[in-house]
């Protein structure tokens, strides 16, 4: 601890010198310097913390970054509100999109889903479109699969390109774009949007996947 040491030094100085002006100046100087140093340290630490917080504020879930089985936040209320606004705007514009969607999935539910896909398609193929339990973005409560009115996943080019262009205005990104399978780990999913918040605009404009964007220096 620096403070007791300073105090000890001060009392030593005061004891040794007979309260002359010169001594007082030295004492004051000694007292000030370490304090300024400590203050700077605190500011630096705070800056680091803010920096770390910024980087981790976007939750990344992919084949390498998973979630604990107990992580079950349910549907994020802010994301849900944004989603409803997006859906009604699409419908206002006469686009073919349903009110129904697939949002939050628990670890247990994803386990069942993945096991079913593996049974049907084999593991290698299932891994191209289905996440293993703990590695689904749907477990975050921030991801949604959109559907056409007939209940099929949204794939029509008109609706898909609307999402690419406008989803960011509602805080969403199209998470698995065409031609990025090597990076995201998934084949293109025009129906899967992920809530980010305001930064979605920057991500869209960058043309990068979330993986690339987060890893920017
Ligand atoms: Zn999805």
pLDDT in tens, 61-79: 999 999 999 999 999 999 9
Ligand 1 centroid to residue 191 C-alpha, Å: 7
So what's the pLDDT on residue 72?
Answer: 97
Instruction: Output the CA–CA distances (angstroms, integers) from residue 191 to 16, 28, 34, in the order listed.
Output: 79, 67, 58
For residues 101 and 86, the answer to whether their CB atoms sit within 8 Å is no
pLDDT at residue 2 tops 80: no
CA of 47 to the centre of ligand 1 (A): 36
CA 143 to ligand 1 center in whole angstroms? 6
* 8 A C-beta contact, residue 101 and residue 147: yes
CA of 187 to the centre of ligand 1 (A): 11
Among residues 142, 145, 215, 141, the alpha carbon closest in space to that of 186 is found at: 145
For residue 100, how far is its CA from the centre of ligand 1 (angstroms)? 13
- What pLDDT, in 10s, does the model give residues 197-210? 999 999 999 999 99
Instruction: Please give the Cα distance from 120 to 114 (Å, whole number).
Output: 10
Centre of ligand 1 to C-alpha 27, Å, is 66
**Ligand 1: centre distance to CA 214 (Å):** 20
The helix or strand, by DSSP H or E, that contains position 146, with its residue range, turns out to be strand 143-146
Ligand 1 geometric centre to CA of 154 (Å): 11
Whether residue 34 has pLDDT greater than 80: no
User: 198 alpha carbon to ligand 1 midpoint, in Å?
Assistant: 21
Q: How far is the CA of 129 from the centre of ligand 1 (A)?
A: 9
> How remote is the CA of residue 102 from the centroid of ligand 1, in Å?
7
Owner of token pair 């690419």: 164
SS3 letters across 9-55:
HHHHHHHHCCCCHHHHHHHHHHHHHHHHHHHHHHHHHHHHHHHHHHH
Which DSSP state fits 168? G
35 versus 146: the higher-pLDDT residue is 146
pLDDT reported for residue 216: 83
Q: pLDDT band at 60, cuts 50/70/90?
A: very high
Prediction pTM value? 0.73
Q: How far is the CA of 190 from the centre of ligand 1 (A)?
A: 9
């Amino acid at each position: 601890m620096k403070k007791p040491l300073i105090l000890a030094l001060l009392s030593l100085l005061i004891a040794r010198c007979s309260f002359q002006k010169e001594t007082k100046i030295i004492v004051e100087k000694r007292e000030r310097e370490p304090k300024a140093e400590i203050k700077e340290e605190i500011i630096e630490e705070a800056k680091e913390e803010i920096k770390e917080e910024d980087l981790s504020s976007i939750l990344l879930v992919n084949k390498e970054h998973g979630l604990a089985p107990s992580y079950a936040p349910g549907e994020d209320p802010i994301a849900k509100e944004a989603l409803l606004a997006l859906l009604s705007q699409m419908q206002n514009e006469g686009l073919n999109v349903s009110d129904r969607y697939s949002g939050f999935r628990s670890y247990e539910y994803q386990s069942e889903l993945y096991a079913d896909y593996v049974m049907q398609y084999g593991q290698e193929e299932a891994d191209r479109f289905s996440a293993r339990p703990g590695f689904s973005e749907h477990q975050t409560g921030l991801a949604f699969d959109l559907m056409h009115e007939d209940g099929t996943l949204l794939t029509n080019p008109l609706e898909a390109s609307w999402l690419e262009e406008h989803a960011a205005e509602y805080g969403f990104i199209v998470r698995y774009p065409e031609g990025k399978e090597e990076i995201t780990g998934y084949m293109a999913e025009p129906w899967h949007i992920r809530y980010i918040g305001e930064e979605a605009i920057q991500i869209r404009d960058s043309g990068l996947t979330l993986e690339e964007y987060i890893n920017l220096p």
